[in-house]
Structure 1
Amino acid sequence: MPDRLDRLRDRADRLYRPRQGVKAGGMTDTPSRDPAPGRSTFSTASTLRRDFTAADCREPAIRHLHDYWQRQRGMHRFPARNELDPIDMKPALGGITIFEIHPKADGGFRFRYRLIGSAIVARDGFDMTGRFLDELPLLQYRALLLGRLEMLARDPAPVLVHNKQFYDERWYDYEAIWLPLASDHENADMLMACQIFARTPSSHVGLPVVGKPGI
């Protein structure tokens, strides 16, 4: 019997139609939503920083994870996945996702969900653990993640993100951090993200407009 994710993907395939109002460069001038019955659509007007310190992290869980990652890497470029203890990351665990980086022969990448936090599964309504990103049925969410992951796979470094998500017909601010992991402490083979949402809706108004992935 197909699981919920398979049913969601089948429905997305049936419902998908090319979007209208696409401008040069991939920008849209009309509100655009995922064809699948997901509950969220991301704004792509995010603030992305590579030059940041723990003091720039608004969320205590994000700051905790950043500091822990720094301690675990020591004098190395990146820590290894097996050097991270879930107990030590407890404040951030529910919002953590870990992606494996799988290089392709053409120079590109595939990304496999290694771990997904319980808060993310509860919000999205399905669990992608063990599946590849290109199996994600929410097309715009997939495009946004793919752009971000490809950028970090090619130029790995800690990144701090502030953005908004349109969720249950309201906007919510969120903070996210991306942290590379490397089995050899040098060449990133995983990317760990943590995403923490504000508890109350933002005062931002308007429908989401999706732009170029990964911005």
Structure 2
Amino acid sequence: MVMADGGEVEGNVGGLPLADLTSPLVLALHEYWARLRGSRKWPRKSDFDPAEVRKLLPYVTLEEIHRDPLRVRFRLVGTEQARFAALDYTGRWLHELPWHPAIIQDLLGHYRRLITLGEPIFGASRYAWSDGFEKAFEWGLFPLSKDDTDIDHVISIEDFSMIDRDRLARLLERQDRLHARPMAGGKDRPAFF
């Protein structure tokens, strides 16, 4: 990823099959989610016990899903999520965040895909911030439902730690979806997604 002139950055955002993930945190949340689900289509938000996944919490967000139109509200944002974003966006709507509109559309696309498929989705992403810091990570989105009919919440995780950077770089290079994204921040402020 190379920072371009004019505040633009090339970013790589794409889906991965579960088998290609290297993140122990994303894999651990998937295992926990599957255990909570049991024989149901999706687990309930009320099934989630933070004490059982304490080491994952800094990397987790809990989103509330609204439809017609699709909107996402962040109910909980882990400390590492807030630190990497340079913003605690707990309680905020995705469309209100100071992120570039193309990034917001990418994220809404992930939520639409999750709702359409009705199953967890996984991926790897890489962005460069305006200060030159490259943010590469693996992620997972896990559906929740209060009635086993509609997905009304999502537990997400982004793992910025302990990723096999060489393997992640190879996975990102294989992906054919390369996006150019203007930075959300200015010269003195990191852009974030």
TM-score band, normalised by shorter chain: 0.7 to 0.9
Q: Please report the TM-score for the alignment, with normalisation by the length of structure 1.
A: 0.67
Query: Is 132-141 or 167-176 further displaced after alignment?
Result: 167-176
What's the C-alpha RMSD, in Å, of the aligned pairs? 2.8
In structure 2, what is the Cα distance between the partners aligned to 1:147 and 1:136? 16
Q: With structure 2 as the length reference, what TM-score do the two structures score?
A: 0.74
Cα-to-partner distance string for 1:74-112 (whole Å, 9 max, x where unaligned): 0001100110100111121111111111112xxx31111
Deviation at 1:32, TM superposition (A): 6.9
Greater helix share, 1 or 2? 2
Which residue is equivalent to 1:10? none
- The separation in 2 between residues aligned to 1:119 and 1:199, in whole angstroms, is 13
Kindly provide the amino acid, as one letter, of the partner of residue 24 in structure 2: P
Whether contact under 8 Å (1:171, 1:201) holds in the other structure is no
Encode CA deviations 1:95-142: one digit per residue, 9 max, x unaligned.
1111111112xxx31111111111011111222211211101112432
Which sits farther off after the overlay, 171-180 or 78-87? 171-180
1:209 aligns with 2:177: no
* TM-fit CA distance, 1:42: 7.0
| Map of 1:44 onto structure 2 | 12
Q: How do residues 128-207 of structure 1 correspond to structure 2 at under 5 angstroms? A: 128-139=89-100, 140-167=102-129, 168-198=131-161
Counterpart of 2:142, as a letter, is: L
Q: Distance in 2 between matches of 1:42 and 1:182?
A: 35
Larger Rg: 1
The percent of aligned pairs where both chains have the same amino acid is 25
Distance 1:96 1:124 in 2: 13
Q: 2:180 is paired with a residue of what secondary structure? A: coil
1:88 equivalent to 2:52? Answer: yes
Could you tell me how far apart the structure 1 residues matched to 2:135 and 2:115 are? 28
Q: Which residue identity lines up with residue 114 of structure 2 in the other structure? A: L
In the alignment, the residues of structure 1 paired with residue 42 and residue 59 of structure 2 have an alpha-carbon distance, to the nearest angstrom, of: 21
Partner of 2:186: none
Provide the secondary structure at the position in 2 that maps to 1:69.
helix
Asked if residue 66 in structure 1 is aligned to residue 30 in structure 2, the reply is yes
Post-superposition offset of 1:58: 1.1
Q: 1:146 to 1:42 in 2, by over 3 A?
A: farther
- Bigger fraction of residues in strand: 2
Q: Is the CA contact 1:99–1:113 (under 8 Å) kept in the aligned structure 2?
A: yes
Q: Residues 31 and 99 from structure 1, CA distance in 2 versus in 1: closer, same or farther, beyond 3 angstroms?
A: farther
Gaps of 5+ in 2: 170-178, 183-193
2:66 partner amino acid = H
Count of aligned pairs: 166
Q: Is the 8 A contact 1:116 1:129 kept in 2?
A: yes
